[in-house]
Structure 1
Amino acid sequence: MHLSLSLLLASWSSRLVQGLASNASYYPYPGPVHEAAFPQQQQGPSPVLQSDRPVLPQGQEDTTSIQEGPNGQWLGILQGDIRRERVFDYVVVGGGTAGNAIAVRLAQTGFRVAIVEAGQLYEDLDGGSHTIPGDDLNGVGWSIADASKSGVDWNFVAEPQLGSNFRRMHVARGRCLGGSSALNFMIYHRATRGSMDRWAEEVGDDSYRFDNFLPFYKRSTNFSPPRLDARKANSSAIYYIPRDFDRPGYGGPVQVGFSNYVSAWSTWLESGLKSLGMRREDNYNYGALNGFHYTTTTIRTSDGTRSSSATFVYEAKKQSLANLRVFLNTQATKILFDRYKRATGVEVVHKGVYYKLRARKEVIVSAGAYQSPQLLMVSGIGPPDTLYRYRIPVISPLVGVGQNMWDHIFFGPGHVVKFPTLDHFNANPLEYVAAKAEYRQKGTGPLSSNVPEFLAWEKLSRSYRARFSPQAQRELAYFPPDWPEVEYLSANGFVGNFYNVPGSQPTDKRMYATILGALVAPLSRGNITIRSPSTLDPPVIWHNWLEHRADQEVAVAWFRRMREVWASPGLEFMTEGPEYYPGENFRSDRQILQAVRESLMTVWHPACTCKMGRRGDRTAVLDSQARVFGVTGLRVVDASSMPLLPPGHPQSTIYALAEKIAQDIIRAERGGSGYGRRPTRAY
């Protein structure tokens, strides 16, 4: 979800809402208050991490570099020499979640690496709002008009289809250094053990089994304990288990911790789930999800700001990695091949000027689940019929390119509640002014929250499953026992049908809250194709949400389950009146399914459109080391590479995948891990 509190402040007359929780110090929380976990740990502000505040070495200032924004950061010596053909060892297309990670790891080993990023530095855009956790709700609506407000979004539009009631829906993708890690919910947790073991089985490579993959999860992250002075004791969490992370203060550049604020709604949702017998799950970073927890996030506890994959590049700048170059505002238009079908570089365009970046060793595509398959297709890799239609010479006829798209959707019922939510800012605008001042001064308060601070997962119980058709039960058996079917997210305000959240708020000054329920074991599959032989035209996106009958049955059962939670002993006395949205008149399966179709929204997790697989799998595009079949010198490393979409939120797994493939490359080239070596020479 993305909604800007700055936008809310500017829209008081337009019924601002749907952003952040209100101040916990005067909000009623369910009691009793219990002790915070590990209270002996540091409770004051953590020291600012220098890797997140890089400064150019004296004498190496680059006056042509792009100013990075409110933190005074800039790329300096890493800034690419725009519009000149250059030669690198590796050219990485996409400076997003995976691209920055793999590029910097290769550069740290001594290779010459280029990052090609179509966007710029997100700190410079939208008033710097994307550094603020509470502003992660920017552009949350599915309306196309809502999408145009963000400078870091590609503003893609999905094709209308039955599952979403034929809406043309905005689907966000990050266009900036950091990619979608710069506008996501900052939720960090890891895949289930069973899902990673299934991944290993599907690609025939045991290195993807959870225990073998865990070191790569750890490698990107630097864990910090929560600030117990900022979080309330009744939202305590088991926050550090040594097997999950390296010791606090060690590890990679991406900061992982807990938000400096928890809303009243999160604690009341916890109360409701507890009263129905759900247990807390503390192993959500160690292969288990079923249960509830306060989630870890990619938020710096020191100052309450977002930590994205751009921190890899900022760390590289601090290390003066002169063998890394970042080309901002530069879009890849085509992968170049020689007559032996070896990738030799990338054609790019910057402000209308086309030129080439050559790769001595490999091109690594990290453009995301929509644009990685698009770039492959316009370069001659994909379904032959599609390539023939646009007169693109066929390099490798892979029918799986752009197919097999997984995604998660969410939706949910909303109620009027008896405790303050973000609607408090509607009724009392000065409270928002105070919250903003607190955030600027201390990095705490509502703006320091990513909003869905509380999550839960479960497989639906027997009482719900008994109503599933035999076919649905057979299809759902694909998922391992520890793979949940549904996820709860605390939404601290009114969401409704997701059209345009700030402009669609109730005007009665009451408080609203929503349980957002996500389907995380989907069986419907979408696809991506091209509309022209140019990457400058957006891809054609077919999500096909709810196309599979089993997904429809799970969605209806899930909606009924969320209503059960609202009516639970731990929550029902905090609601006022009947269900506000969609309303109690939606009772039958058919009516509920219609309500879901009218209101569902993507959770922005498209994946698997260039999936890994075994060589005999016709739908596979990559081998288990992310190498594209039918050519050499080309890999795809991002969410599109995955053979399946693990339950929950994939950010952590994408970082880990980039770390793993980087290690595969380095070991093949140099032997050993190779990490930590200085560049052999600058250029």
Structure 2
Amino acid sequence: MFLRRVFLLSILFGAVSWALHVRDLLPRGFAPIVSALTALFHGDGLIQSSLGAIGGVLGVDQEFDYVVAGGGTAGNVMGYRLAEAGFKVAIVEAGTFYELSKPVLATVPGLDVIFVGSSQNEAVSAADWKFNTASQQGAGGRNVHYAQGKCLGGSSAWNFMLQHRPTTGAFDKWAQTVGDDSYRQGSFEPFYEKTMTYSSPDLTKRPANTTIQGNEADFAATGQGGPVQVGYSNYVSPWSTWLEKGFKAVGLGMQNSFNRGKLLGYHYALTTIRQSDATRSSSVQFIYAAKDRGMQNLKVFTNADVSRITFDDSKKATGVEVLSAAGTRYVLKANKEVIVSGGAFKSPQLLMLSGIGPEDTLRQFNIPVVASRPGVGQNMWDHIFFGPSYPVKLPTFTDIEYNPIKLAAATGQYLLASGIFASNGIDILGWEKLPSQYRQRFSPSTEQALSQFSSDWPEVEYLGGNGYTGTFSSLLAQPATGKSYATILGALVSPLSRGNVTIASTSVKDSPVINPNWLTAQGDQDVAVALVRRMRDIWSTADVQSILDGPEYYPGTTVASDDDILNYIRQSLMTVWHSSCTCKMGTTDDQSAVVDSQARVYGVKGVRVVDASAFPFLPPGHPQSTVYALAEKIADNIIKGGK
């Protein structure tokens, strides 16, 4: 297995290196062919070996208006928008540019499957925090590798680049939960538009029937959106078009847009892939934009950990203590506020290390209590997925791993910003509440628990996996049978199980203790078993049966009883990497709330948490767009308030 990985990566790296070396020797007419490969390393065209005018001076005490702890999905938006408004801002990031710490793999959409598996052997990238969960009862006792981005861009540099918005009911629930109508759909949606620029599909590389015309209406007008690119990828797998037939056969309807408050149904996915060169577009685009604009009031500190927030006697944040990679400590003073944007694991860790959190935990580690907030690190929501894999008479990712000729051909196509590497590997999505025939074994308590979700909130999501996933130990672990494989992945998007995060020590260098508690709620178990039966029925539709090359390969047809199906799920489930709500937003009378509707931390002054950890709950589907929108909204609140 290891040798196959080395072989795959060596061929791809070799092709990339060759293109970079010969590009200057090629005639001018060949320039477009190699521009995509150049972009693998160059992001928006310039390798960021130096931050130039926006580079922070490491190791020296300095003073700012705002200090943003974490240069991830939300943090880069916050830093850029506040600097754009004229404030003096620092962004402090523990990693560096992912083009440097995860070259090629982070930039090529089709390589997003590498080093994200559940095995601890997958935790090898310098751009990964290398988190592992505590032993999970609901996951067969496994300690699961939980990839998260340790780099500028954060997990927008690691995710599967899927873009959509929540349902109308989810927006309403957010507003009701936090007591603030500005989170209703009509008020919140403009902030979704602010981050992104939409590009129409390239119909020379993608069939017209795998797109929807009119998506432009869901995004800002040309020239008015943000630097993150969104659109349809330049490749659609044959498997996705057959899965569409399966969706239709079982009664799923086509949804015209996943950005208008509706998700129930299916369609092809929008992604944050830059269409022109088929490369990932992440929140690091805000850093590139700041550099291009010469924003000297924004300073970016890389390879630097915020070890704690400092406070004065009135519990007003005064700044942060920073620990450099070399072990040097220095202070960045914040005259106005500290913005915590470390993600669902690092944000609660930083609050606890700074004296904000459950009092028993703080006293256990002899951390002086600044604010007793029992909800810090609690209320963790996450999505999990799993799914049966079948051999198919279609080309899939499996072919590339074992066939060097096909790998070389795919690499050649990618030079033209097309082919399998130009896609994130998940081209089509579907959502539904499970039909009545699959709910027969739901207990009354399960139905009651699921009733808390609005009528437009799906219970399950389907993702077309263009390859074999198995136990998720490694997504490069394709079966060596000579056949191609495909998977329907099913995700629980109305999860009932809740996890938690806590600290392991007083050092920011030590990973927090992560306990997602996946599949511990009986309701989640009931839905998961029913979901497997539903996915098998999709596989059994006439059109999908016509492209099968044998019976179900994993888990296999002998896994048939509820108990056997549940055991298979426990052994193979994987996070969808949507951890959230560990510093949840809520009202003053909610003792588990950590921040108010403007993301201000209760019990102290001058600290906000802006990232997925601040969600009051996890909306259905993929949270990337909502993280961006929340950052845009809170930045706008701060700027308009002049604070």
TM-score (norm 2): 0.93
* Partner residue of 2:83 out of 82, 107, 112: 107
Cα distance per residue 1:46-103 (max 9 Å; x no partner): xx99xx99xxxxxxxxxxxx99898434421111000000000000000000000011
> Alpha-carbon deviations, 1:170-204, whole Å to 9, x = none?
00110000000001101011111111110110000
Counterpart in 1 of 2:269? 295
**Distance of aligned partners of 1:5 and 1:619 in 2 relative to their CA distance in 1, 3 Å threshold:** farther
Aligned counterpart for 1:536 among listed residues 505, 509, 523:
509
Change (3 A) 1:234 1:282: closer
Deviation, structure 1 residue 276: 1.7
Is 1:171 the equivalent of 2:146? yes
Q: 1:426 to 1:99 in 2, by over 3 A?
A: closer
Please, what is the CA RMSD of the aligned residues?
Answer: 2.1
Q: Which residue of 1 aligns with 2:530?
A: 557
2:114 pairs with one of 138, 146, 154: 138
Q: Aligned residue for 1:259?
A: 233
Q: Which moved more, 1:418-427 or 1:600-609?
A: 418-427
Give me the whole-angstrom Cα distance separating, in 2, the residues matched to 1:238 and 1:562.
29
Deviation (angstroms), 1:114: 0.1
Q: Which residue of 2 aligns with 1:574?
A: 547
Give the stretch that moved more between structures: 277-286 or 227-236: 227-236
- Which structure 2 residues correspond to residues 179-198 of structure 1 after superposition, within 5 A? 179-198=154-173
Q: Match of 1:253, as an amino acid?
A: P
Which residue pairs with 1:83 in the alignment? 59
Aligned mates of 2:299, 2:116 — CA distance in 1: 33
Residue 610 of structure 1: CA displacement?
0.2
* Counterpart residue identity of residue 582, structure 1: P
Structure 1 residue 232: Cα displacement: 2.1
Q: 1:464 aligns with which of 419, 438, 444?
A: 438
SS in 2 for 1:129: coil
Equivalent residue number for residue 104 of structure 2: 128
Deviation at 1:416, TM superposition (A): 0.8
Q: In structure 1, what is the Cα distance between the partners aligned to 2:574 and 2:507?
A: 28
**Alignment-mate amino acid for residue 294 of structure 2:** S
Supply the distance in 1 between the matched residues of 2:103 and 2:503 (Cα, whole angstroms): 33
Report deviation, 1:266: 0.8
TM-score (ref. length: structure 1)? 0.88
In the TM superposition, residue 422 of structure 1 has moved relative to its aligned partner by 1.6
Name the CA distance, whole Å, in 2 between partners of 1:239 and 1:147: 41
Question: Which residue of structure 2 aligns with residue 9 of structure 1?
Answer: 8
| Correspondence for 1:647 | 620
Q: Are 1:526 and 2:499 matched, yes or no?
A: yes
Counterpart Cα distance in 1 of 2:42 and 2:58:
16
1:432 maps to 2:407: yes
Shift in Å, 1:248: 3.6
Runs of at least 5 residues in structure 2 that lack an aligned partner in the other structure: 12-31
Cα 1:67–1:323 change in 2 (3 A) is farther
Match of 2:247 in 1: 273
Task: Quote the residue 1:119 is aligned against.
Answer: 95
Aligned to 1:638: 611
Separation of aligned partners in 2, 1:116 and 1:575: 51
What does residue range 54-69 of structure 1 map to in structure 2 within 5 Å?
none
Mapped to 2, the partners of 1:535 and 1:315 lie a distance apart of: 30
CA distance in 2, matches of 1:340, 1:227: 57
Partner of 1:156: 131
CA distance in 2, matches of 1:303, 1:249: 19
Change (3 A) 1:8 1:557: farther
Shift of residue 363, structure 1, vs aligned partner: 0.2
Q: Residue 450 of structure 1 corresponds to which residue in structure 2?
A: 424
Indicate the residue corresponding to 1:377 in structure 2: 352
Aligned twin of 1:623: 596
Q: How is 1:263-342 mapped onto 2 (pairs within 5 angstroms)?
A: 263-342=237-316
| Equivalent residue for 1:229, pick from 204, 211, 231 | 204
CA deviation after TM superposition for structure 1 residue 470, in Å: 0.2
**Whole-Å separation in 2 of the counterparts to 1:421 and 1:237:** 24
Residues 475-507 of structure 1 deviation map (CA, whole Å, 9 limit, x = unaligned):
0000000000111111111111111232x3322
Q: 1:511 aligns with which of 470, 479, 484?
A: 484
Work out the CA distance in 1 between the residues paired with 2:309 and 2:220.
Answer: 38
In structure 1, how many angstroms separate the alpha carbons of the residues matched to 2:443 and 2:51? 56
Give the aligned partner of residue 669 of structure 1.
642
Q: Residue 336 of structure 2: which of 361, 367, 373 is its match?
A: 361
Whichever structure has more helix as a proportion of its residues is 2
Conserved? CA contact 2:391–2:550, under 8 Å: yes
Q: Write the letter of the residue equivalent to 2:8.
A: L
Distance verdict in 2 for CA 1:633–1:426, change over 3 Å: closer
Matched letter for residue 116 of structure 1: V
Q: CA deviation at 1:393?
A: 0.5
What SS does the aligned partner of 1:437 have? helix
1:542 to 1:581, Cα distance in 2 relative to 1, 3 A:
same
Answering whether residue 389 of structure 2 is matched by residue 390 of structure 1, we say: no
Change (3 A) 1:576 1:68: closer
Residue in 2 aligned with 1:595? 568
Deviations 1:281-310 (A, max 9, x none): 112011111111111110111111110000
Q: Which runs of 5+ in 1 are unaligned?
A: 13-44, 54-65, 671-683
Match of 1:583 in 2: 556
Q: Report if the CA contact (8 A) 2:200-2:216 is conserved.
A: no
Q: CA deviation at 1:247?
A: 2.1
| Deviation of 1:239 (Å) | 5.0
1:560 aligned counterpart, secondary structure? helix
Alignment of 1:18-29 (within 5 A): none
Deviations 1:201-245 (A, max 9, x none): 000000001111000000101111111111123423335241x11
Equivalents in 1 of 2:223, 2:241: separation in Å?
Answer: 29
Question: How many residues of Structure 1 are paired with residues of Structure 2 in the alignment?
Answer: 617
User: What's the offset of the Cα at 1:250?
Assistant: 3.0
CA contact (8 A) 1:163 1:547 kept: yes
Q: How much has 1:438 moved relative to structure 2?
A: 2.3
Amino acid at match of 1:577: G
Query: What's the offset of the Cα at 1:600?
Result: 0.2
C-alpha distance 72-408 of structure 1, shift in aligned 2 (>3 A): same
Q: Secondary structure at the match of 1:273?
A: helix
Answer whether contact 2:116 2:146 (CA < 8 A) is retained. Answer: no
CA distance in 2, matches of 1:371, 1:288: 32
Residue 4 of structure 1 deviates from its aligned partner by: 14
Q: Secondary structure at the match of 2:258?
A: coil
Contact 2:130–2:145 (CA<8 Å) still a contact in 1? Answer: yes
Q: CA deviation at 1:127?
A: 3.0
- Decide whether the 8 Å contact of 1:116 with 1:327 is kept in 2: yes
CA deviation after TM superposition for structure 1 residue 7, in Å? 5.4
Kept in 2, the 8 Å contact 1:113–1:324? The answer is: yes
Amino acid at match of 2:576: V
Q: What is the CA distance between 1:277 and its match in structure 2?
A: 2.0
Helix, strand or coil for the counterpart of 2:280? coil
